[in-house]
Every structure is written in C-alpha cells, then in structure tokens.
Amino acid sequence: MTIATPSPAPADAPPAPRTIYRHRVATRLWHWLNAVTIFIMIGSGLTILNAHPHLYWGAYGANFDHPWLNTIHWPSYVTIPAHYNLAIARRWHLLFALVLAFSLLAYMIVSVANRHFARDLRVRLRDLSAANLWHDLREHLAFRFHDPADPRAYNIFQKLSYVLVIFILIPVMILTGLAMSPAMDAAWPWLLDLFGGRQSARSIHFIAASGLTGFIVIHLVLVILAGPINEVGSMLTGRWRVPEEAA
C-alpha cells in the first residue's frame, strides 16, 4: 500500500498573505476623530470665508482695502450649514476647534509615551539623501508604496507629510485661530503680534487650512491606489495584510 504525499507548491506560486499589527488604538481613534473634525471645520470655515472672501496682510482689512487674494464664493454643497448662516457656522467651527486642539494634545502625549513618533516618524539625515528621495519617488510613481524589507516602515514622503501636518499645519491653524479671537488678544496680546496682526493671522490660517486640505486629497488618492479595503480595514482593526509585492 502506498501513502499519498501532498504535492509541493509550484515554485511560482504567490506567497501566502500575512497580517501584521500596524496601527495602535491611539492612532486609529485620532484618525477617525480627525476625519469628522476636519470635515466639519472645513465646511464651516468656508461658510465663514463666504462672509468676507478677501484676504489681507497686516492688522486691518476691509472692503475698500486691497486684498492679496480674492477667494471664490463656495457653493452650498461644500459649506456647513448648507444655507448661509454665519452664526451657526462660527459655533460649529469653534466647537470642533476645541476638539481638534485637545485631541492633538492627547495624541502627542500618547505618541511620545509609546514611542510612535521616535519609532515611525523620526526623520534621519540618510532619509533626506538625494538617492533615497529619488528611490522613494520612483517607487511611488510605480505604485509601490511599501518597503519589502520592512512593510511597517513609513517611507520618507509619508514621514515628511505626517510631520508637516502634526507639528506645523494643525498647530499653526490652532494658534492663528486663537490670535483672531478678541478674548485671547486680551489674555495673550503677544500672540497677535507673533503673526503680524489679525488679518495676517487670518491669511496664514487660510494657507494652513488649504495645505491640510491638499494633504487630505493626496492621502485619499494614495489610499485608493494602495488598496482601499486593506488600508481602511487596517485603520479600523489595526491589522494590515501585507501586499504580495512586499510579503
């Protein structure tokens, strides 16, 4: 009697997908809280901008002054609320500004404690070398977004973009928002001087918000290109299936 033995897998058979734990609870919570917060803040901010769609530099700016930028009138389907209501838009904007500020503070504290910043987002000099930047750019253009040697690792463009958002764009938005508040001017008069006046703070606030919006658009495009089911699933469960080309 012969004993049947299993046939070996073909040499060209794809490797079995493996799953790794990629996103911690704090990162996932902050990601989805930000998704709601930023959506509401952009929509309500556009309603506020529609009230006076002109941007100036300096301490003062009004209808008869020369603006450096005249923005478009934003349609109702991208504003919050959909109908024009400046008072409600300001309430929503200020409420979620508090959510944005305190959630960022909590995320920073947790990410320092669990070494997420030091482990995943630290930018080293070798990361900024011309050879490494060119390599990662070519990989992105070929739609290869993960390092086969370490699929968990962030590439240099991810590091720079996340550092820009977490440590520059969002803090600048928060500080310029505070600088535009008359109540905060009384408590911290130096804050308004730091940005060169209320109208300069408003312009910088708009530029930072535009940069954050651009990041979100690029982020969503890359998620779609990298595989939306796997990427969104990992931000829900923390578990990420390593793509075949990186397995």
Q: Provide mean pLDDT across the span 190-204.
A: 93
**Burial zone of 147 (CB within 10 Å; 0-12 exposed, 13-18 middle, 19+ buried):** middle
Query: Residue 73: which CATH number?
Result: 1.20.950.20
User: Is 3 within a domain?
Assistant: no
Q: Are the beta carbons of 17 and 242 closer than 8 angstroms?
A: yes
Return the pLDDT at 6: 46
- 115-124, 147-156, 173-182: the lowest-pLDDT one: 147-156
User: Is 9 within a domain?
Assistant: no
Model pTM score: 0.87
Return the pLDDT at 63: 79
217 has a pLDDT exceeding 90: yes
Confidence of residue 247 (pLDDT cuts 50, 70, 90): low
Return the pLDDT at 53: 95
User: Is 14 within a domain?
Assistant: no
Rg value, the chain, Cα: 23
Return the pLDDT at 75: 95
Count how many domains the chain has.
1
User: Is 4 within a domain?
Assistant: no
Return the pLDDT at 237: 93
In one letter, which amino acid is 85?
A: N
7 has a pLDDT exceeding 50: no
Which residue range(s) make up the domain with 153?
Answer: 19-246
Q: Provide mean pLDDT across the span 134-162.
A: 87
Q: Answer positive or negative: Cα dihedral of 217, 221, 224, 230.
A: negative
Higher pLDDT, 211 or 4: 211
148 has a pLDDT exceeding 90: no
Return the pLDDT at 12: 54
Return the pLDDT at 140: 87
2 has a pLDDT exceeding 50: no
User: Is 212 within a domain?
Assistant: yes
Q: Considering the chain, what percentage of its residues have pLDDT values greater than 90?
A: 69
Confidence of residue 17 (pLDDT cuts 50, 70, 90): low
Nearest to 151 by CA among 57, 20, 42, 16: 20
Nearest to 27 by CA among 243, 238, 223, 227: 238
Mean pLDDT score across all residues of the chain: 89
Question: First and final CA of the chain: distance in angstroms?
Answer: 40
Residue 178 DSSP SS3: helix
User: Is 1 within a domain?
Assistant: no
User: Is 152 within a domain?
Assistant: yes
Separation CA 56–CA 106 (nearest Å): 34
User: Is 5 within a domain?
Assistant: no
- 39-43, 63-67, 120-124: the lowest-pLDDT one: 63-67
14 has a pLDDT exceeding 90: no
